[in-house]
């Protein structure tokens, strides 16, 4: 069976983990160590066309500078004549956002641990002069041991000599600090702290303190810090959030004050500050030069059948050998990246997906066994898009990987449930009580 094979340096590239407007994130294996990594792939022509060179340079530079146990690690950066490959730590536990959706809200103890790790990571960033500017649960990942990892530094700011205030309005509206909206210059550290306060409120309640259907009303409430607590909200956390969600950045509590607060101090174990010392950015500058294609060797052939997925990829998908989450569509937890399996022929799966998607009002774009669905976002008025890809995991057993490419995550949750309900006739449901080992043997035969 023919399949696409690609190797970037010592990394063997596998399946796509995520897909956005300007980049793809793929799973890869370090062929020297066997370690799984995530590879962010950017086309040089795209970033040049959209004048994103400085932004991408900044993101890569920042991730090299901020090395900390609670920040997604950048291993290295590789380049070819046409593409840039950012090799990142592969974080398997999903988004903190999904944990909140699954549990509705977190316990006070669990929320405090994640908040402590978030503050440690943000403090380390600030000590390096780095301000994230887009802190939210979707940009907070969990590793296999459920430790928090801050990710997505695409909107981050680096210090400039002689410049104390930032002026770019950026971030996600529900998490953005009021001074950022006023467009008169703001302190990046204070703005990040505000976002941390909103995150803590969400962890403990399961919903946002500031949420309105129109931006004008939302901004008005953010500017006035107009929100309320449910009656059962922990009093200690309330006293801390009151000081964080202070609309005046001059009187807003700082990192040191947060760490000294009694609620934060409970069971707090400080992690190391991360790696110190000077970091060379010479290689970052080098990847944007016109260089010969010395790192990448790849061979690709036309796909005439679905890609196969080997056992190693399946194990990494399933967070070890517990494969119930992969095969059990009935679980309540629907991640932004989801999947189901079918015993129908691959062509029948694609045909069914096309019919259902068109009935739901989506534009269907197909290329082999990869399908993109595009439509209007209900919540935000922008684009909503989903990418589906069919993999053969065993003879006559196919996995359909479904991931959000554009739009709101909550909207995607609803889409996925509705979509699967309409595809119920092709989705395979393993019998109750089927042992994990049996599934593993099925996949690797």
Which has the closest alpha carbon to 154: 268, 264, 57, 261?
Answer: 57
Helix, strand, coil percent content, the chain, rounded in steps of 5: 35, 25, 40
Rounded to 5°, angle at Cα 114 from 112 and 119 = 90
Give the HSE-up count for residue 13: Cα atoms under 13 Å, Cβ half-sphere.
23
**Is 134 in the active site?**
yes
CA 112, chain centre distance (Å): 21
Rounded Cα–Cα distance for residues 125 and 131 (Å): 7
* Cβ burial, residue 212 (10 Å; 0-12/13-18/19+): middle
Sequence-distant (6+) residues with CB within 8 A of 35 are 29, 90
Rounded to 5°, angle at Cα 67 from 28 and 90 = 20
Beta bridge partners of 338: 402
Which tokens hold the place of 111?
Answer: 């929320």
Rounded Cα–Cα distance for residues 346 and 354 (Å): 12
Query: 316 near 90, Cβ under 8 Å?
Result: yes
| Continuous segment of H or E residues that includes residue 110 | helix 108-127
Which has the closest alpha carbon to 200: 227, 166, 224?
Answer: 227
Enumerate long-range contacts of 104-108, CB under 8 Å, 24 or more apart: 104/206, 105/203, 105/204, 105/205, 105/206, 106/203, 106/204, 108/204, 108/234, 108/237
Catalytic residue, from 98, 120, 134, 187: name it: 134
Which tokens hold the place of 431?
Answer: 């019998």
Q: From the CB of residue 421, how many other CB atoms can be counted at a distance below 10 Å? A: 10
Does 363 appear as a known binding residue? no
Rg (CA), the chain: 23
Q: For the packed helices 188-205 and 235-244, what is the interaxial angle rounded to 10 degrees? A: 150
For strand 363-367 and strand 383-394, is the pairing parallel, antiparallel, or unpaired? unpaired
Residue ranges of the annotated binding site for ATP are 49
Active site residues: 134
Residue ranges of the annotated binding site are 49
């Amino acid at each position: 069976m023919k399949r696409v094979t690609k190797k970037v340096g010592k990394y063997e590239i596998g399946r796509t983990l995520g897909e956005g407007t300007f980049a793809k994130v793929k799973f890869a294996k370090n062929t020297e160590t066997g370690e799984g990594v995530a590879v962010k792939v950017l086309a040089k022509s795209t970033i040049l066309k959209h004048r994103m060179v400085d932004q991408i340079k900044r993101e890569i530079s920042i991730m090299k500078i901020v090395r900390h146990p609670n920040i997604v690690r950048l291993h290295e950066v590789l380049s070819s004549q046409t593409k840039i490959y950012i090799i990142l730590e592969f974080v398997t536990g999903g988004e903190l956002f999904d944990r909140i959706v699954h549990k509705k809200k977190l316990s006070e103890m669990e929320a405090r641990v994640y908040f402590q790790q978030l503050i440690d990571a943000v403090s380390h960033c600030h000590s390096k002069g780095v301000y994230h500017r887009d802190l939210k649960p979707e940009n907070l990942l969990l590793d296999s041991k459920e430790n928090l990892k801050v990710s997505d530094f695409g909107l981050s700011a680096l210090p400039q000599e002689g410049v104390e205030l930032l002026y770019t309005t950026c971030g996600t509206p529900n998490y953005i600090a009021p001074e950022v909206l006023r467009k008169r210059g703001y302190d990046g550290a204070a703005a990040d702290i505000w976002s941390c306060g909103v995150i803590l409120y969400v962890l403990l309640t399961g919903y946002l303190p500031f949420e309105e259907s129109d931006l004008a009303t939302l901004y008005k409430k953010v500017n006035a810090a107009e929100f309320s607590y449910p009656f059962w909200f922990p009093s200690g956390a309330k006293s801390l959030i009151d000081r964080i969600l202070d609309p005046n950045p001059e009187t807003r509590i700082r990192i040191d004050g947060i760490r000294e607060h009694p609620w934060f101090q409970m069971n707090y174990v400080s992690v190391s500050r991360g790696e110190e010392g000077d970091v060379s950015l010479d290689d970052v500058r080098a990847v944007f030069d016109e260089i010969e294609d010395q790192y990448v060797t790849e061979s690709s052939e036309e796909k005439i059948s679905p890609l196969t997925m080997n056992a190693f990829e399946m194990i990494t998908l399933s967070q070890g050998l517990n494969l119930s989450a992969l095969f059990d569509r009935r679980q309540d937890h629907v991640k932004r990246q989801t999947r189901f399996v079918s015993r129908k022929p691959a062509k029948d799966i694609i045909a069914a997906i096309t019919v259902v998607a068109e009935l739901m009002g989506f534009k269907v774009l197909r290329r082999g066994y990869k399908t993109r669905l595009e439509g209007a976002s209900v919540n935000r008025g922008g684009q909503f898009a989903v990418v589906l890809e069919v993999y053969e995991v065993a003879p006559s057993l196919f996995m359909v990987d479904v991931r959000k490419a554009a739009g709101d995550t909550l909207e995607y949750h609803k889409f996925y449930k509705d979509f699967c309900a309409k595809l119920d006739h092709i989705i395979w449901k393993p019998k109750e009580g089927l042992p994990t080992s049996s599934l593993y043997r099925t996949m690797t035969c």
